[in-house]
Structure 1
Amino acid sequence: MKADTQSTDLPCFDLHMHSTASDGALSPQALVELASQNGVQLLALTDHDTLTGQAEAAAAAKRLDMKFIPGVELTCRWNKRVIHLLGLNIDPDHKGWKGYLDHLSCLRNQRAEKIAKKLIGKGLPDDLLEQARALAGDGQIGRPHFARALLEAGLVSSESEAFDRFLGQGKPGDVKAEWPDMAEAISQVQKSGGYALLAHPTKYNLTFSRLRILLAEMVAAGVDGFEIAYPGVSQEQIGLLMRIADQHDLQVSSGSDFHTPKHRWTHLGRFPRVETHRHLIHALVAGG
């Protein structure tokens, strides 16, 4: 397994990226255009808890003769822990999406209000919520928008510092929400015709023993697989994850989790290569 390259008999692909429809820095069209410039030929837009960028991204991909895979990254919970579920090759027009995503949007807005209240209580600006909402625009509001608001206000030197001091785990802005259970999220993706996969499994601060339990419970709930290759995952971790995929007969996916060109640790189309018949890219290229 080699890093940062892809097999020559497959199109250059990226199955995990974000636009301004959620917490990305580029519009769906600009994101697709940058992906094309980077040589990506097949991509999935997977914004957090929204499908509003799908039509724009699909139209841009069509103009550029790229294959577009409709996608989403759903926030859900497992044993009171927040996890993210990728939905790939979904039907954005499936009738069940509206009510499900409206509920998530409501939860996000309620959480944003609680985050602002807690941070204002720590002496941060009274207009913090308004600034975060302005940065979110028409997209789903999240903690990254608060981080950018704090950066623009000159209260931190970087978005990373904002998370370290105010928004990260255990900090004042670490506000929990009653996200849907993982089984509900898996069912929603699959009812829309998509593949349900756990996003970036090594990024939940779980030991591999706990991760095995999570994945076993997800298998019992009908999950299709998990993301195996993404920025920050090590070759040792990929090997351990591959053994879990083999054990449970699961599919795997890969993506850059791209949010902004400012992040030096990731770029569109760049992530470790994993060559396996279990990779979802084979089905997507074949049109399944």
Structure 2
Amino acid sequence: MIKYDLHSHTTHSDGQLSVEQLLLRAVEKNIDVFAITDHDTVAAIEPAQAFIKSQQLPLSLIPGVEISTKWESFEIHIVALNVDVQQNELCDLLSQQQQKRAERAKEIGRRLEKNGFDGIYEQAKALAEDAQITRAHYARALIERGVAKTIPGVFKKYLGRAKTGYVPSTWCDMQTAISAIHAAGGVAVIAHPGRYQMSNKWLRKLLLQFKEAGGDAMEVAQPQQAPSERQFLGELSREYGLLCSQGSDFHFPTSWLELGKNLYLPKDCQGVWQTWEGQEGDAHE
């Protein structure tokens, strides 16, 4: 059985493992088909392809990216899989997104500094190194200052909606992201639909409009997930005619989340990989 993990992050966005460390960990966890999907950047893809080739790793890499979009009052993430990372429309969109990220990061820093966290922007920037600064970097910086013990704890106190360091996003809309993904030859997948804290009525509205905008698939399986949620998402995928994807959304090693862990699709779900030339296999329970 082929083992797929189609959602992961490196230090090129808010992951904590380098490209090389992430790929070696994927091999260690017996992943066969693996996607790197950093936030609004494809900077990790070419180094990953080169490392796999130089080390002759037994791993098939799917070039990807996770694009932040704005829908109603929600920030919806769309994972692009199997994209041409040099395609102009996609590159232009990602450049615009990165500029928005940079502006938002500076504003978050200003708001936190007004509330007594002097030098927090510089601290977050140091943690990000060469990558774009994200809220996760600010969360790590605040943890280092002892304001909370966990990233969710920091978001609850400082970075979540209506909190001191919250800055509303100005991301592109879903249609724009889907159009760019398709122009680059890729498949558009709604990321982690069970994590947007919306009612089932709103989730159905999201899936309907995503499908109408040309969306192709939705993530159905993740490591931390109740079996009932996985089954429900599988039913929704069939109801709205969407392919199914699975991914760990891996950022760094933890005791509760790991590459490839607990990833399988419910029966009667069509995996997104079944549409890819040369990618055959089964990942059902």
Deviations 1:220-250 (A, max 9, x none): 1010011000133322222222222212221
- Which runs of no fewer than 5 residues in structure 1 stay unpaired? 1-7
Asked if 1:69 is matched to 2:62, the reply is yes
Tell me which amino acid in the other structure corresponds to 1:225: A
Which range moved further: 218-227 or 151-160? 151-160
Aligned to 1:4: none
Q: Bigger CA drift: 162-171 or 73-82?
A: 162-171
Aligned partners of 1:189, 1:51: CA distance in 2, in Å? Answer: 12
Q: Once structures 1 and 2 are overlaid, which stretch shifts more, 246-255 or 266-275?
A: 266-275
CA distance in 1, matches of 2:149, 2:256: 18
**Conserved in 1, the CA contact under 8 Å of 2:191 and 2:219?**
yes
1:39 and 1:285 mapped to 2: Cα distance? 22
Q: 2:86 is paired with a residue of what secondary structure?
A: coil
Percent identical among aligned pairs is 36
Of 203, 216, 220, the match for 1:211: 203
Matches within 5 A, 1:122-141: 122-124=115-117, 126-141=118-133
- Contact 1:49–1:140 (CA<8 Å) still a contact in 2? no
CA contact (8 A) 1:48 1:140 kept: no
CA distance in 2, matches of 1:149, 1:131: 6
Instruction: Provide, for residues 162-218 of structure 1, a one-character-per-residue CA deviation record: whole Å limited to 9, x for no partner.
Output: 222111233112211211001111111111000001000010001111100000011
Residue 112 in 1 paired to residue 105 in 2?
Answer: yes
What is the alpha-carbon distance in structure 2 between the residues aligned to residue 119 and residue 59 of structure 1? 40
Which digits, 9 at most, give the CA deviation of each residue in 1:39-92, with x for residues without a partner? 111100000000000111122333203111000000001113111000001111
Give, in whole Å, the separation in 2 of the partners of 1:209 and 1:83: 16
Question: Normalized against structure 2, the TM-score is what?
Answer: 0.92
Give the whole-Å Cα distance in 2 for the aligned partners of 1:137 and 1:33.
Answer: 21
1 or 2 for the larger relative contact order (CA 8 Å, sep ≥6)? 1
Opposite residue 16 of structure 2, the aligned amino acid is: A
CA distance in 1, matches of 2:275, 2:67: 22
1:102-122 deviation digits (Å, cap 9, x = unpaired):
111111111111111111122
1:285 Cα deviation from its structure 2 partner: 6.9
> 2:232 aligns to what SS in structure 1?
helix
Bigger mean CA deviation after superposition, 63-72 or 230-239 = 230-239
Helix, strand or coil at the partner of 2:172: coil
Match of 1:59 in 2: 50
Q: Write the mapping of 1:260-271 to structure 2, written as runs, cut at 5 A.
A: 260-261=252-253, 263-271=254-262
How many residues align structurally? 277
Structure 2 residue 267 is the aligned partner of structure 1 residue 280: no
1:278 Cα deviation from its structure 2 partner: 1.2
Name stretches of at least 5 consecutive residues in structure 2 with no aligned partner: 281-285
The answer for the alignment partner of 1:25 in structure 2 is 16
Q: Give the distance between the partners of 1:234 and 1:285, measured in 2 at CA.
A: 32
CA RMSD of aligned residues (A): 1.6
Q: Which moved more, 1:92-101 or 1:33-42?
A: 92-101
Question: Aligned residue for 2:165?
Answer: 173
Report the equivalent of 2:92.
99
Match of 1:233 among 218, 225, 232: 225
CA distance in 1, matches of 2:262, 2:200: 21
Structure 1 segments of 4 or more deviating over 6 A? Answer: none
Residue 72 of structure 1: SS of its match in structure 2? strand
Q: Separation in 2 of the partners of 1:56 and 1:65? A: 16
Cα distance in structure 2, aligned partners of 1:277 and 1:80: 30
